[in-house]
Structure formats: structure tokens, C-alpha cells
Structure 1
Amino acid sequence: MNRLALLTIVGILLPACSQQATQANSGLSSQANEQPSPTQSAQQTEGQAPNKTEKHMVSQPSFNCSSDGLSSIETLICQDGELAALDRQMTDVYQAASAKALNEHPPLLKAEQRGWIKGRNECWKSDDKLECARDNYRMRIAELQARYRLIAPSAEVSYQCDGIKAKEVMVSYFATEPATLIAEFGDSSSLMYSQPSGSGSRYQGRNESLWEHQGEARITWGYGAEPMICKLTD
């Protein structure tokens, strides 16, 4: 009688244990499927946005913003992403220009760059310091790109002025930002920047200017000089 009861109990317990084991194995399999593979983890990591440290590094200028004695304009550059990007571009362009200026005599580039930095820092006097600093960067970058031919000219033309063959002005245009040109007349040259114009193309340098319209140009060369009437040569 006791033996019969024992067999009955075993018969009841065995199926229950088997069912629990099956459920446990099923739970483990489900957890394993939910865990991403190493490849999936790497892909997810690649798709994530840069962390705060990476973003901070990207927005930094070329100089150390934690340095003591920064000027107010340098502090502004550290606080503005666009100015910081322009500063990094300025550093790259200056280094490229320096490589081309190794044999320059006299060596002007380094001294000019120091002077430019002082001028940029003078933007603290401007009503719109941000715009002043931005314009300083853009014009200096464009100047170096044109002067040192860091980009190829978009066009090169020749003008003959006042109907005199010897009065020839050679002009190289550059698709910088802002647009620039370098004009050569006699033994001198002038860098000019594009200016707003109601008609034609107008460029202004330190004491020189060029206003071109329909193949004819009015070129002024020197302070107070009368404009020359110039036409494109064949």
C-alpha cells in the first residue's frame, strides 16, 4: 500500500519539475536574445551623437581658452562656435601660406600676422564686436588664399587702359569669401575685395579700385588718381 502511494507521488512531481526546467531554459534563451551582440553594440555606439567632451573640443579655437590673460575678443571667440571655427580655419590657412613664404624676402608674413592679431583684438572698441571679429577673420583668410595662391584663380584677364598699349593691367580673380582679385600694374600690385554694386563688379583695395561693367573697367591706381578707362584685350 505504501509503495503504491510513493509511486503516485513520484508520478505527480516529475512532470512538474520538467515543466519548471523548461520554463527556466526558455527564460534564459529570451534574455540571451535580448542582449545585443558585440557588433550591434559597436554599431549603436557609432550612431550615437558626440559626447559633451567631443562637442567641446570641436567648438574650441586654435588657442587655449583656459589660458590666463586672454583679451576680451579672444574670450568672445572661445564663447562663439562660428568664431572658433574661423580661428581654426585661419590657423590652417596661415600654416599653408607660411609653407609658401619660406623664401620670401623680406619675410613679411609672420610680422603681418602679429599685426593682424592686434587689429582683430581691437574689435573690443566696435559696437558689434562679433561682426567686427568675423569680418576680420574672413578678410584675412581671403587675403592669404589669394596672395599665396592657396586656391587657383577663377579667371585671369588683361586690360589695356586709356588706349595706350603700355598701360596694361593684369587681373587674377579668386573665388574666396569674400571674393578677391589681385591686379598688377607696372611694378606694383594690389589686393582688392568685392564690394556691393548696383551693376557690374566692383572691387576696392587700399588705394586702388576696379569697377567692371560689360567688358569695360574703370581702374583707379593710387590715392587721388584719376580713373583709367580700360578694355579687355583679346
Structure 2
Amino acid sequence: MSFGTVSQTGLLLALVAAATLSGCGQQTLDNSQEVAAALATGGGSSSPQATERELPTFDCNALGERASSIEMLICQEPELAKLDQQLAEVYAKAGDKAINEQPPLLKAEQRGWIKGRNECWKNEDKLQCTKDSYQRRIVELQARYHLVASSGPVFFACDGNPANELVTTFFETEPATMIAERGDRSILMFSVPSGSGAKYQGGDYSFWEHQGEARVTWGYGAEEMLCKPTTQDDK
């Protein structure tokens, strides 16, 4: 038996012994078998990332009986755990910018978002629903608190009336987003597919820019407006 074979065998025995002492039951035994397979195929010298798991920002072991099925799913799915980590980073940056926010909306909105995320248990595809919820919340915070590059503001006059003004700012999020302001309302919209031009939608609000003008629907049942860009000289 060569020295390399002895080394690999010794390493395998050490890993299996450590796994047995950890008390993690069948799951740990399965992990040990995966390590054995890696060694058998020459993977024993691979980087430690191969056996590491992504973990969310909350303690999965402390959830207990109060855990929702979606929280359990986040603990089980590395992709969701990674999104949870990313959201925590973005939320912290938003918190730095919202320190003087009046009224203080960020924390209340986050609590509401968590409740909404956990409602994904009702969805047929719970994984995709939860993933979409995280991604939308991340880009929402990035746009609202200007955490990414942006262009604008761009001013529009709608239906030929300079007083009927729409102000837009576009953000380099993924997917792309924009914030449209009109009167006392500020609406976040997400980029959606369109045959031509650039189209954004947020609930009952939409903005479709094409050939130098924009068609805008501002709320449920509202008639479409035709809006054209203006400059400060036009005012």
C-alpha cells in the first residue's frame, strides 16, 4: 500500500469518527459517505467549500415549534440562505440611510415583508415564491434608499399640461427598477418585458417609454396618460 493510500485512508477514518461523535444522526452519516466518495475519486484535497452549507442570518436550531414552514425551507435551501444573507447586508445599509427617516418606516415595513414572505407556504412553488420575495425586497431597498447607481431625475409633462408633472429616477438593480413621483405619491416599478422601448410596472401603475414619450397608467382604473420629457427651461 502506498503512502498516499494510507494518508487518504487515515483521513477518511478521522472524518467518519468526527461525524459519529457530532451526534447529527443519519444526516451526518450521509455526509461522511459523501466525503468517502470524494476521496475515492481523488477529491480529498479539494477546498473546504465543497462541504460547507450556506446558513441564513437567523439561528435555525433555535426556531423550535414556532418556525414557519418557509423559515424551515430557508434553512434547508442554500440558495435561499444566501439571499437571506444578501438581504441582511442591504437592510443594514438602508438602515444607515434611514436613521433620520420620519416617520420611521423601515423596521415596520421589514416586519410586514417577513409576514408576507412566510405566506409563501400557500404557494404551489414555495421555493420560487420565497426566492422572488427576497429578490424583490432586495431591489426595493436598493432603489428606495439609493444604494445603487441611478440616472435622473427625468421630468415629464403629461397630457400636454406642464402642471401634470411626473418625475422619474431609474436604478441599476437586478431587475432594473424606477421610482415615479406624481403629486404626493411615490411608486416603485419593476422592469417587465416589452416588445419595444422600456416598460416598468408596479401593481396598478405602469410606465412605458417608447420613441421619446411615455404612456403612463397611474393607479387602478385610471386612463392612460401620454407624457413627454421636459427641461427646466420649459417651466
Which TM-score tier does this pair reach, normalised by the shorter chain? 0.7 to 0.9
Aligned equivalents of 2:46, 2:125: Cα separation in 1: 37
- The aligned amino acid for 1:103 is N
Q: Which residue of 1 aligns with 2:224?
A: 227
Matched, 1:160 2:160: no
2:64 maps to 1:66: no
The match for 1:31 is: none
* Residues in 2 aligned to 1:51 and 1:146: alpha-carbon distance in whole angstroms: 33
State whether structure 2 residue 94 is matched by structure 1 residue 97.
yes
> TM-score, normalized by length of structure 2?
0.74
- Residue equivalent to 2:173: 176
Aligned counterpart, 1:86: 83
Q: Which residue identity lines up with residue 66 of structure 1 in the other structure?
A: N
Greater gyration radius: 1
Question: In structure 2, how many angstroms separate the alpha carbons of the residues matched to 1:233 and 1:105?
Answer: 31
Return the offset for 1:96: 0.9
**CA deviation vs aligned residue, 1:23-43 (integer Å, no higher than 9, x gap):** xxxxxxxxxxxxxxxxxxxxx
1:1-40 matches, within 5 Å, as: none
For 1:144, the equivalent position in structure 2 comes to 141
- The AA in structure 2 aligned to 1:134 is K
Unaligned 5+ runs, structure 1: 1-46
Runs of at least 4 residues off by over 6 Å? none
Report the 3-state secondary structure (helix = DSSP H, G, I; strand = E; otherwise coil) of the residue aligned with 2:149: coil
Root-mean-square deviation (Å): 1.7
- Aligned counterpart in structure 2 of residue 118 of structure 1, from 91, 97, 115: 115
